[in-house]
Structure 1
Amino acid sequence: MSNHQIKWVFLLLLALIWGSSFILIELGLGALNPFQLGSLRIVSAAVFLLAIGFRHLPKIPQRQWKFVAMTGLFGNFIPAYFFAIAETEITSSVTAILNSLTPVNALILGTFFFGLTVRRTQAIGVTVGLAGTLVLILSGAMDNPSQNYWFAGFVIVATLCYATNVNLVKKYLSDLSPMTITAGNFAVMLIPASIILAASGYFDVVGQANVQYASLFVVILGILGTGIANVLFYRLIQISSPVFATQVTYLIPVVACVWGIVYGETLTGWQLLGAAIILIGVYLSGRK
């Protein structure tokens, strides 16, 4: 199979894996609280990634460990908990759509804090993306009064964390390989996540059948959705380009919404309109 064919296979696999992450969070929340879920997700991913990437840790210069720690905090640690907290009130489909704001927020933060130059089309894309977010959230709040759409703020903050991570990596860690950065991230996060997992009372209830069932989904989320997906993503960048690889942004909400429908979630016409506006904004903000 040629690289041209392989890159499409990898793109579709990534869309399937990352698009499924949001329903896995929802299934995990069936018996776990957000802190148990977020911690178990990080610990599972850390064990997997360190098992295959621990040899890369000595490649990190001492002066760069602080930036590795920061990218671990913003790129994985905070979002793992915030996505779980958000899905206690809003659906996995809406969460996945809001996650698409990451490229838009990366452009905003890059402009204000990292000296990035923005073109006119990109500025329009940011405005459009934010407008779509308002449509999605406000329409969802009106049509689903039983759900607290203020919790959408946790997703937005998580995407700002992702955006911060991207800019930090680009500015301070561009000389390190992706696997080296990832192994360093999870080496830093493993201990605090383990402490939070223990403090959350997880080990007091892990013997219960429903907790074990929910934990299985979270372990799959950690290993597959974080560990294997990262390896696939970095390989995709190597055999194609960053621009091609980021097209997965458009496919993730589609997969997530299909899973949402399977599990009984619904999106109104206004929410679908908001989703379409957000994706148009993402497309425009990504244009050069």
Structure 2
Amino acid sequence: MQQNETPPLKAWLLLLLLAMIWGSSFILIKKGLIAFRPDQLAAIRIASAGFVLLPFLMQRFKTVQRHHWPKLISVGLVGSFIPAFLFAFAQTQLPSGVTGVLNTFTPLATLLIGVLVFKQIVALQQWLGVLIGLAGTVILITANGSGEFQFNAYALLIILATICYGINLNLIKHHIPDLGALTITGVSLFLVAPPALLYLLFATPFIEQITAAQSGTYFSLTAILILGVIGTAMALIIFNTVVKMTDTTFTSSVTYLIPIVALILGVIDGEPFLIEHAIGMAAILTGVFIANRRAQKRKSPA
């Protein structure tokens, strides 16, 4: 898509589907943590996502040239591997709904990375959006329902994950324009899947847990496999497709809808929803809207 074009209907539909898939991922992480450690959950997620796409990649490996490999390894690490571990550890101390809301920092992180690393030109109104979003993030990080300031360091893991996503978005858009979405997704995930599997099998008691088959083990494993196959592999194909159809700002705006899905599922599952959560989410989404609205205007025809 040219910079001055309106995103096509297909892009909007894919964005909605992506929001539903990723909005559900936080509750799946929560269920996976019932029986497995966070590092196990992340390893299962990455391994299942990486190997499930292998049958579709045999011909696509031929299109990958030597200069692509370092970039695809980077995409696999910052776009999947590292965030998977960060989200898993964060949700040991954060409700799934709040995690979904904090994930809305992704568009602002994308904008900041674009400015600092890729020399993207940003208007004053976009900076205003970033500041409002940061204020909302601070509110969420300190929310506890008592009205007192209480810092939750685990929320910073989600912020770090969104920064990884911001780097990944800009990397795909600016440095891998000549590879298809399935190739980028499948190869990058496949490159990080073997280390994840080896870690799972030899550095954790995964085999013993599966063999013992205690109550809830297979339920949690099913949730994680769904998270890996659908919430990671399939979702990243959709995500990278939308990146190539539109631009990084439009694609990262999927986080407008993700927290709605995540919060609804969290509340259904019995999680509390505090007034601070509502204020923080409103601030972040307002900031994302302001930054995105200005970006779209700058791309409009003169």
Question: If the length of structure 1 is used for normalisation, what is the TM-score?
Answer: 0.91
Matched, 1:152 2:158: no
The one of 92, 102, 113 aligned to 2:96: 92
The 5 A counterparts of 1:1-288 are 9-140=13-144, 142=146, 149-198=152-201, 199-207=203-211, 208-209=213-214, 210-235=216-241, 241-242=246-247, 245-286=251-292, 287-288=294-295
In structure 2, relative to structure 1, the CA distance for the partners of 1:196 and 1:80 (3 Å cut) is: same
Task: Give the superposed CA RMSD.
Answer: 2.3
- Contact 1:99–1:155, Cα closer than 8 Å, also in 2: yes
How many pairs does the alignment contain? Answer: 284
Matched residue SS, 1:15: helix
Q: Residues 79-130 of structure 1: CA distance to partner in whole angstroms, max 9, x if unpaired?
A: 0011000000011111111111011011112211221111111111111110
Query: 1: distance between equivalents of 2:265 and 2:148?
Result: 19
Secondary structure of 2:122's counterpart equals coil
Name the SS for the 1:62 alignment partner.
Answer: coil
Alignment partners' CA distance in 1, 2:218 and 2:274 = 34
How many Å apart are 1:170 and its aligned residue? Answer: 2.4
Give the C-alpha shift of residue 168 in structure 1.
1.8
Contact 1:35/1:196 (<8 A) preserved: no
Amino acid at match of 1:260: G
Structure 1 CA distance, aligned partners of 2:171 and 2:9? 32
Deviations 1:222-262 (A, max 9, x none): 11111222333445567x64465544221110000000011
* Runs of 4+ in structure 1 over 6 Å off: none
Mapped to 2, the partners of 1:252 and 1:126 lie a distance apart of: 19
Counterparts in 2 of 1:9 and 1:144: CA distance versus 1, 3 Å: farther
Residue pair 1:90, 1:148 contacting (<8 A) in 2 also: no
CA distance in 2 between partners of 1:31 and 1:79 (Å): 20
- State the AA in 1 paired with 2:265: W
Amino acid at match of 1:211: T
Distance apart, 1:6 and its partner CA: 5.6
1:64/1:12 Cα in 2 relative to 1: closer, same or farther (>3 Å)? closer
Distance 1:183 1:140 in 2: 40
Using a 3 Å threshold, how does the CA distance of structure 1 residues 244 and 161 change in structure 2: closer, same or farther?
closer
Mapped partners of 2:255, 2:46: distance in 1? 22
Q: Distance in 2 between matches of 1:206 and 1:187?
A: 24
Stretches of structure 1 that go unaligned for 5 or more consecutive residues are none
CA distance in 2, matches of 1:98, 1:136: 7
CA-to-aligned-CA distance 1:58-98 (integer Å, 9 cap, x gap): 21111221111011100000000110000000111111111
Could you give the per-residue CA deviations for residues 36-68 of structure 1, whole angstroms, max 9, x where no partner exists?
A: 100000111112222223321221111221111
- Please state whether the residue corresponding to 2:177 is helix, strand or coil: coil
Q: Is the 8 A contact 2:185 2:233 kept in 1?
A: no
SS of the residue corresponding to residue 54 of structure 1 reads coil
Amino acid at match of 1:32: F
Question: Residues 101 and 87 (structure 1 numbering): CA distance in 2 closer, same or farther, change over 3 Å?
Answer: same
CA gap 1:10/1:106 in 2 versus in 1, 3 angstroms: closer
**TM (normalized to structure 2)?**
0.87
Higher share in helix: 1
* Partner Cα distance (1:190, 1:167) in 2: 23
Larger displacement relative to structure 2 (41-50 or 254-263): 41-50
Give the 3 Å change call, closer, same or farther, for CA 115–9 of structure 1 in structure 2: closer
Separation in 2, partners of 1:5, 1:63: 34
136-145 or 210-219, which deviates more: 136-145
Sequence identity of aligned pairs in percent?
37
